[in-house]
Amino acid sequence: HKGRVTIRDDAVEAVQFGAIATGQNINDIKDMEAVKAELTSLMPQIKTFWSSENDWNQMVASNQIDIGTYWSGSADRAKTHFKLPVSLVIPREGAVAWLDAFSIPVGAKNVAGAEAFINYMIDPKFYVEWVTKVGAPVSANAKAVAALPEDAFNRKVMGDPDVARRIQFQAPISDAQREAYLALWQELKVNVK
């Protein structure tokens, strides 16, 4: 796949992928030199870096890439809504994950309306429609995921305990860590041809 790989242009995510590839915990990276070596070995494979869902989808649609990192909800949407030839795989080594959430700020003027909206968004009936018509991220509502068709990506991934165990969720990092990851990522990207 040399020259036909893409990765999101995100320093934290890239370093965490390097940590996974070297068998490390993404939230407690002990050997940054191993991460750097792993990412350095990846750079000759890179065609380009993506920063938006549209970037990634256009590269797939125009047959510019064979493989790349992507978000689960976006992969589902690319396949379902845009009919792109996409399969999402969680590698044996694992994957980086994070959670999106709904929240109601203190002092909100319409708490009841906000609660109704959140309840609607996590309701199994709406979620099935969202996933099957547009493509959506995995829901935290187990009943919503269970209501999906058997072959739905979100059901297959999060319904499989082996896959769920391979996912490492991002924890907050310090500003100093973020800066170190960014410096490393910028250094590595300079050498992509």
- List beta partners, residue 6: 48, 68
pTM of the predicted structure, to 2 decimals: 0.85
The answer to whether the CB of 185 falls within 8 A of the CB of 19 is no
The CATH T-level fold of domain 5-189 is D-Maltodextrin-Binding Protein; domain 2 (3.40.190)
Predicted pLDDT of residue 193: 63
pLDDT by residue for the chain (193 residues), tens only, comes to 899 999 999 999 999 999 999 999 999 999 999 999 999 999 999 999 999 999 999 999 999 999 999 988 888 889 888 999 998 888 999 999 988 889 999 999 999 999 999 999 999 999 999 988 888 888 878 899 899 988 887 877 777 788 888 999 999 999 999 999 999 999 999 877 6
